[in-house]
Structure 1
Amino acid sequence: MTINSELLEPLVSVIIPTYNRPQYLEQAISSAFKQTYQNIEIIVSDNFSPEDPQNLVASFGDSRIKFWRHTENVGMLTNQMNAFKMAQGKYVASLHDDDIWNQDFLAKLIPPLEANSNLILAFCDQYIIDAQGQINVAATEGNSRSYKRDRITSGIHEDFQKIALVDKSIPTAAACVIRNGLIDWDSIPAEIGGMWDLYLSYLCYISGYAVYYYPEKLTYYREHEQTDTMLSGRRNVQAKIRKAESEIFCYKVFMKDVRLQEYYSHFKKLWLEANTTLGIGLLLDNKTKAARSYFWQALNEQKFNLRTLTALTLSFTPQIITNKLLSVY
């Protein structure tokens, strides 16, 4: 008697939010279909891309793929959450349209979750690849060290607030499988913006469940000119402002949570840095008065900070000089 393996495997919802990156989207979808774990549904949520990817999605000819296209650009967060809300699987995993999964990604992360109902998520390490899909060895090693995944022990972690919120080791947007039904997707506020992945880690922490770490690189995170990380630097002032606003909101929530008081000073430091960053973004956007209010707030809370003091001083110089000097910030 032959038993369909899919009957023994719980359904996993693969979430792929997308916007105007068809060449990468095709690779992302392909990596989902190539999983050795096959009981999946793939939900592609398009944020009203100028180039409608519906034909690309349909070209896969697989009933496991579902396509949703917004009738207007609703923003990155709303598009992401829309896909999560559509998920029917016992587990959900986010795969961004420019990233790729190793074929054993789900096969290696689902079993720990199935074996222990007290786990809310399982996560792994990741490779860093360039626009052409080539692994950047130095960047990969640096990424693992930066997020301290090279130090995390394999297995279950019950008290994981430091791992999740201080070290930011859990890549919930790129290399993580989450038990569906434990997170209220509507509880992620709009103000969180691009920090939704860190805030999701926070919601997982306060849920009371544990997490599991699988110490292998099972995903490929692509770094290129259009990633949010790249855009939020000097290249795009509005992206810089949005990112700083999201950070201010996020760290303020963490500072107020009595369960995180051990790390209050850490979150306050990041909150102050974000205030200065927002001020710099506003200054570059010719909103000098608003910028100064953030500089003053940061200085009042920490008394002296060279970066903040320098930015405040520059706010009193001619705009053309300010823009040139602030380009290093």
Structure 2
Amino acid sequence: MLQQNVKQPLVSVVIPTYNRPDYLKQAIASAVKQTYQNIEIIVSDNCSDESPQAIIESFDDSRIRFWQHPENVGMLSNQMNAFKMARGKYLASLHDDDMWHADFLAKLVPTLEANSNLILAFSDQYIIDGDGNINTIGTEANTRGFNRDILAPGIHTSFIKIGLIDKSIATAAACVIRNGVIDWDSIPQEVGGMWDLYLTYLCCISGYGAYYYPERLTYYRAHELTDTMLSGSKNANAKIRKAQSEIFCYKTFMEDSHLQEFHEYFQAKWLEAHTTLGIGLLRNHQTKAARPYLLQSFKRQKLNIRTLTALIVSFTPQPLANQFFKVSRTA
């Protein structure tokens, strides 16, 4: 094994974590069990209520490096901190509530190693529930939804459409990236939870290519603590955060000369995010703050029922507006 490791490039497995001890243990286990062995595993804890240090020590694996922030620095800063700690020629992000197939790295790294013109390699993924059971229907829908069912296997020298339109590349969950190409300090705080989309953008304009391995090699967990599955005010706050990040990202894409071919698409997504942000603010009873975003979206796109409805609600007396949102949440 020592001789084998000398021939293999080091891969940094990055696991940012916060308050998910049970899932974290499963995530680390899936990294430790990789058949590709020359790895370091970086666990960066965002000041969890209970330190995961005991979990780290339970693996008794010298490849695991642990960092704990003395205070919560936010999701993005925790993620970037872990990336900056990486010493590997390649790196891969593993969510603390997700898992990898044992051959994830073994099936993606060799192609990167054989072709220096590639910046990343990625695969398809399974969708699992909170207990780790595969959601067959959800998995198939996920594959189709991101067009991975029709995506040609192999090398793609240009992957702007694949990465930013179809969003086939799960940069944060099912991807190995060549380290040293991306400047982690160039990812601004404004991208927030959309850092993976922004990272895909940086990879797309890097001049390198991408490689698609058409097997499901990762397990993405959809559970009650996922932003998209939260309810009530938590859902409104998640909606606001996501929309703000999208507005920043799509504005950047609209202004990039490399992406002019897709300007119309990015503008539509930018305006859609304005509507989403407006609705989130309305749900939080921030009517005056919501209205400018809704007006911006309404004025710059064709008639959109979602935007029009939200704009009308913004001029509706608060008790009636509250009733509308109560009905819409249960519809």
1:108 matched to 2:98? The reply is no
* Mapped contact 1:128–1:221 kept (Cα < 8 A): yes
The answer for the alignment partner of 1:54 in structure 2 is 53
- What is the match of residue 158 of structure 1? 157
Is residue 321 from structure 1 mapped to residue 310 from structure 2 by the alignment? no
SS of equivalent residue, structure 1 residue 59 = helix
CA distance in 1, matches of 2:322, 2:38: 53
Structure-1 residue corresponding to 2:12: 13
* Cα separation, 1, equivalents of 2:317 and 2:250: 33
Task: Say whether residues 1:63 and 2:62 are aligned partners.
Answer: yes
Q: CA deviation at 1:137?
A: 0.3
Q: Residue 3 of structure 1: CA displacement?
A: 6.3
Q: Compared with structure 1, are the counterparts of its residues 211 and 232 closer, same or farther at alpha carbon in structure 2 (3 Å cutoff)? A: farther
1:91–1:177 contact (8 Å) kept in structure 2: yes
Match of 1:249 in 2: 248
Question: 1:37: which partner in 2?
Answer: 36
Indicate whether 1:24 and 2:23 are aligned. Answer: yes
Q: Which runs of 5+ in 2 are unaligned?
A: none
Counterpart residue type for residue 36 of structure 1: T
How far is 1:269 from its partner? 1.0
Distance 2:325 2:229 in 1: 17
Mapped contact 2:278–2:294 kept (Cα < 8 A): yes
Supply the AA of the counterpart residue of 1:147. Answer: F
Match of 1:174 in 2: 173
Aligned to 2:238: 239
Q: What is the CA-CA distance between 1:319 and the residue it aligns to?
A: 2.3
Partner amino acid, structure 1, of 2:301: Q
Q: Residue 159 of structure 1: SS of its match in structure 2? A: coil
CA–CA separation in structure 1 for the residues paired with 2:270 and 2:218: 30
State the secondary structure of the residue aligned to 2:300.
helix
1:283 Cα deviation after fit: 1.2
Q: Secondary structure at the match of 1:103?
A: coil
In structure 2, what is the equivalent of residue 131 of structure 1?
A: 130
Distance 2:227 2:244 in 1: 14
Aligned to 1:94: 93
Contact 2:233-2:284 within 8 A present in 1 as well: no
Deviation at 1:232, TM superposition (A): 8.4
Mapped to 2, the partners of 1:12 and 1:23 lie a distance apart of: 24
Residue pair 1:299, 1:309 contacting (<8 A) in 2 also: yes
The residue that corresponds to 2:198 in the other structure is: 199
1:214-233 equivalences under 5 Å are 214-231=213-230
CA distance in 2, matches of 1:166, 1:190: 22
Identify the residue that residue 190 of structure 1 maps to in structure 2. Answer: 189
Are positions 1:80 and 2:63 aligned together? no
SS in structure 2 of the partner of residue 236 of structure 1: helix
TM superposition shift of 1:160 = 0.6
Instruction: Measure the CA separation in 2 of the matches of 1:195 and 1:232.
Output: 20
Structure 2 CA distance for aligned equivalents of residues 188 and 232 of structure 1: 30
**2:65, 2:305 → 1: CA distance?**
51
Contact 2:123 2:213 in 1 (8 A): yes
SS in structure 2 at match of 1:217:
strand
Matched-pair contact (CA < 8 Å) for 1:231–1:240: no
Q: Deviation per CA, 1:235-254, whole angstroms, max 9, x where unpaired?
A: 52211111100000001011
The 2-side partners of 1:68 and 1:293 are apart by 42
Q: CA deviation at 1:293?
A: 0.6
Any idea what SS the aligned residue of 1:4 has?
A: helix
What letter matches 1:286 in structure 2?
H
Which residue identity is paired with 1:197? D
Structure 1 pair 318/107, CA: closer, same or farther in 2 (3 Å)? Answer: same
- Looking at structure 1, the residues matched to 298 and 231 of structure 2 have their Cα atoms a distance apart, in angstroms, of 23
Offset, 1:89: 0.4
Find the counterpart in structure 1 of residue 258 from structure 2: 259
Instruction: Encode CA deviations 1:79-103: one digit per residue, 9 max, x unaligned.
Output: 0000000000000000000000000
Separation in 2, partners of 1:230, 1:113: 35
> Partners of 1:206 and 1:4 in 2: how far apart?
37
Q: 1:253 to 1:232 in 2, by over 3 A?
A: farther
CA distance in 2 between counterparts of 1:226 and 1:3 reads 41
1:310 matched to which residue of 2?
A: 309
- Once superposed, what is the RMSD of the aligned Cα atoms? 1.4
1:267-300 deviation digits (Å, cap 9, x = unpaired) = 1111111101101111111211110111111111
SS of equivalent to 1:14: strand
Structure 1 stretches lacking a partner, 5+ long: none
Q: Once the two structures are superposed, what CA deviation does each residue of 1:167-200 show, in whole Å capped at 9, x if it has no partner?
A: 0000000000000000000100100001100110
State the Cα distance separating 1:231 from its structure 2 match: 3.6
The answer for the alignment partner of 1:118 in structure 2 is 117
**Structure 1 counterpart SS, 2:191:** helix
Whether the aligned pair in 2 keeps the contact of 1:228 and 1:239 (CA below 8 Å) is: yes
For residues 109 and 179 of structure 1, the distance between their equivalents in structure 2, rounded to whole angstroms, comes to: 11
Kindly tell me the number of residue pairs found equivalent between the two proteins.
328
Point out 4+ residue stretches in structure 1 off by more than 6 angstroms: none
Aligned residues of 1:164 and 1:201 also touching (Cα < 8 A): yes
Question: 1:217-264, CA deviations, whole angstroms, 9 ceiling, x for partnerless residues?
Answer: 000000001123324887522111111000000010111111111111
